[in-house]
């Protein structure tokens, strides 16, 4: 009986760590706009047009996305696929880009970004975990809306 319980606990914990589940509700596309930056070195919070760049993620129902960044008057886009994952009962979005881009903000130095899903209307970049800026995004109504 003890072995059966141990097997159930192990299988349950493995499933909870690898489960992919869409945690964002509502009609697609979902658009998230960068609303706040926090400097990694001094914790200063910057919002609105005072931020170094403006940025949006547009998530489509077919698990593709477009990331757009406006910086110094230049508009840069990058695309790829996203998926949801749950680790320790916390929901994350993993963005995997099609090609290298200067707008990928990641601790990994590869084609992936990870976002912490705080709610249906708020996601936060994990780039700050490795001395990148803290980036907070709020859901807005329509893709392409600034």
Average pLDDT estimate for 20-48: 81
More reliable by pLDDT, 17 or 47: 47
18 pLDDT higher than 90 = no
Instruction: Report DSSP state, residue 133.
Output: P
More reliable by pLDDT, 22 or 142: 142
Average pLDDT estimate for 7-11: 30
33 pLDDT higher than 70 = yes
What is the pLDDT, as a whole number, of residue 102?
93
Q: Are the C-beta atoms of 12 and 38 separated by less than 8 Å?
A: no
Q: Are the C-beta atoms of 128 and 135 separated by less than 8 Å?
A: yes
Average pLDDT estimate for 67-86: 96
The dihedral formed by the CA atoms of 25, 62, 132 and 136, expressed in degrees to the nearest 10: -30
Nearest to 114 by CA among 84, 142, 144, 141: 84
- Cα torsion angle, 17, 122, 60, 56, sign: negative
- Range of 1-5, 33-37, 105-109 with top mean pLDDT: 33-37
Give the confidence band of 13 by pLDDT, cuts at 50, 70, 90.
very low
47 pLDDT higher than 60 = yes
Give the confidence band of 138 by pLDDT, cuts at 50, 70, 90.
very high
Strands (E), 9-106: 30-38, 45-47, 54-59, 64-71, 74-87, 90-97
* Cα–Cα dist 126/132, whole Å: 8
Average pLDDT estimate for 11-22: 40
Q: Please name the residue ranges forming H helices in the chain.
A: 2-18
What is the pLDDT, as a whole number, of residue 2?
36
First to last CA, the chain: 59
């Amino acid at each position: 009986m003890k072995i059966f319980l141990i097997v159930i606990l192990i299988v349950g914990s493995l499933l909870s760590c690898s489960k992919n589940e869409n945690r964002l509700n509502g009609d697609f596309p979902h658009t998230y706009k960068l609303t706040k930056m926090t400097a990694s070195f001094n914790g200063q919070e910057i919002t609105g047009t005072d931020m170094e760049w403006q940025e949006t993620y547009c998530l489509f129902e077919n698990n593709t996305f477009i990331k757009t960044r406006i910086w110094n008057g230049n508009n840069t886009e990058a695309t790829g696929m996203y998926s949801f994952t749950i680790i320790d009962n916390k929901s994350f979005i993993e963005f995997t880009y099609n090609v290298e881009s200067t707008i990928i903000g990641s601790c990994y130095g590869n084609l992936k970004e990870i976002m912490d899903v705080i709610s249906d209307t708020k996601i936060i970049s994990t780039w700050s975990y490795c001395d990148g800026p803290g980036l907070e995004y709020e859901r807005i109504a329509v893709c392409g809306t600034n």
